[in-house]
Amino acid sequence: MADKILGTKELAAAAIEAYNKFTADRGADSLRKLYDTLYDLNAALREEMQKNTLQPIKLILAKLDKGTPLTPDDRQFIRLWLVGDAEAYSSRENDYNNWTAELTRLMTAISQTAGQIADVRGNMAVQGTITDALGVIPSMQKFLEALDRVKRFENSTRTMDSGTMLAIKALLENKIKSPND
């Protein structure tokens, strides 16, 4: 039997349910289920946005084919499709300064102890600190990459020459074809 494809409302409810289960048991399996459900919800929201804005994007593609100038609204739809997720994330993220402070604290501890401890327990303590630092870095990197994507988009679309229009057309067409973009 094929799995039923859940909509965004059902996935949002499933995410809340998974979160409640995690808060009740604080288990790794519950946290993984929450992660998976949020991942699926994010993908469904992206697909819903693309489905709801497909007609304007098709009109924009026709303009790009003909070399017709784009309106400010056209540019906003392009922005939404190409970097809307990165803008939404970077505008809501509020832990970057805390992550930076935590990484600084951890790196200070590592620099003060790494290579200076001769016993196994001391070395394991440093390894635990390194593991902690390795957990902070991906969040920082994701945030900085989102900011960078938006900045590169802004820089590359400042002037809409024929090369830029062709590149945007290809990106939009690929997003229409790909279920995961």
pLDDT at 117: 73
Residue with tokens 């102890």: 113
Has residue 136 been placed in a domain? yes
What pTM was computed for the model?
Answer: 0.83
Has residue 23 been placed in a domain? no
pLDDT at 113: 85
Domain total in the chain: 1
Q: Which domain holds residue 95?
A: 53-177
Has residue 8 been placed in a domain? no
pLDDT at 2: 45
Has residue 19 been placed in a domain? no
Q: Within 13 A of 4's CA, how many CA atoms are on the CB side?
A: 5
pLDDT at 3: 53
Has residue 126 been placed in a domain? yes
5, two tokens: 């494809």
130 near 110, Cβ under 8 Å? yes
Q: Which of 81, 88, 86 is nearest to 177 (CA)?
A: 81
Has residue 34 been placed in a domain? no
Q: Within its chain, how far is the Cα of 87 from the centroid?
A: 9
DSSP letter at 1 equals -
Has residue 47 been placed in a domain? no
Q: Which residue positions in the chain have pLDDT lower than 70?
A: 1-5, 115, 179-181
Has residue 70 been placed in a domain? yes
DSSP letter at 26 equals -
pLDDT at 149: 96
Measured CA distances, 119 to 56, 108, 113 (Å): 65, 20, 12
Measured CA distances, 79 to 54, 82, 146 (Å): 14, 5, 13
